[in-house]
Structure 1
Amino acid sequence: MDERDRHKQGMSTRRSVLGDSHVDRAEKNRNDFNADFQD
């Protein structure tokens, strides 16, 4: 499994746990301070 596959799987898990609206909002509000936490 490469990095892209792990990221895709992680985002799928994140969306199933937190919900699409939360993840979309977090991605939209991404900045230099919180970017590492969003990846």
Structure 2
Amino acid sequence: MKQQSTDRALDLTSFLFLEMTMFSLATTPNCNRDGLLYN
């Protein structure tokens, strides 16, 4: 039971990390990407 809960917590953490990464890529790096393209 405890191992399953730990695995579930790790999955949730990984999911949240992935979501935050995708959100960051979707918002801030657009400016950086444009800057790199124009530079």
**Structure 2 length as normaliser, TM-score?**
0.42
* Greater gyration radius: 2
Bigger RCO (CA 8 Å, 6+ sep) = 1
- The structure in which a higher percent of residues are helix is 2
Q: Return the TM-score normalized by structure 1.
A: 0.42
